[in-house]
Amino acid sequence: MTASSKNDALLVLADGTVLQGKAFGSRGSVVGEVVFNTGMTGYQEVITDPSYSGQLVTFTYPELGNTGVNPDDQEAAQPHARGVIARQLVPQPSSWRCQQPLETWLDDHGVVGICDLDTRALVRHLRETGAMNGVISSDGCSPQQLLERVKNAPSMEGLNLADQVTTSAPYTWTSRCGVGFDQRLKNRSDSPFRVVAIDFGIKRAILERLVAHGCDVTVLPASADLDAVLSASPEGVFLSNGPGDPAAVTAGIALTRDLLTKADLPLFGICLGHQILGLAMGGRTFKLAYGHRGLNHPCGTSGRVEITSQNHGFALDAGSLPEDSVAVSHLNLNDRTVAAIAHRQRPIFGVQYHPEASPGPHDADHHFARFVASMAERR
- Cα–Cα distance measured from residue 64 to residue 44, given in angstroms and rounded to the nearest whole number: 10
Domain that holds residue 47: 8-151
pLDDT tens digits along 229-266: 999 999 999 999 999 999 999 999 999 999 999 999 99
Q: How far is CA 334 from the centre of its chain?
A: 19
Q: How confident is the model at residue 352 (pLDDT cuts 50, 70, 90)?
A: very high
Same domain for 351 and 216: yes
pLDDT tens digits along 68-96: 999 999 999 999 999 999 999 998 999 99
- Cα–Cα distance measured from residue 149 to residue 135, given in angstroms and rounded to the nearest whole number: 8
Examine the pLDDT at 108 and tell me if it is beyond 90.
Answer: yes
* CATH code of the domain covering residue 138: 3.50.30.20
Examine the pLDDT at 114 and tell me if it is beyond 50.
Answer: yes
Same domain for 196 and 297: yes
| Torsion, CA 199, CA 202, CA 205, CA 208, rounded to 10 | 10
- Cα–Cα distance measured from residue 307 to residue 153, given in angstroms and rounded to the nearest whole number: 35
Domain count, the chain: 2
- Cα–Cα distance measured from residue 154 to residue 144, given in angstroms and rounded to the nearest whole number: 18
- Cα–Cα distance measured from residue 341 to residue 17, given in angstroms and rounded to the nearest whole number: 39
Enumerate residues 6+ apart whose C-beta is below 8 A from 278: 285, 316, 321, 326, 338, 341, 350
Domain presence at residue 78: yes
Residues acting as catalytic residues: 271, 354, 356
Residue 3 pLDDT: 53
Same domain for 357 and 235: yes
Same domain for 105 and 79: yes
Domain presence at residue 1: no
Enumerate residues 6+ apart whose C-beta is below 8 A from 356: 203, 205, 206, 208, 209, 270, 365, 368
* CATH code of the domain covering residue 177: 3.40.50.880
Residue 179 pLDDT: 47
- Cα–Cα distance measured from residue 201 to residue 51, given in angstroms and rounded to the nearest whole number: 6
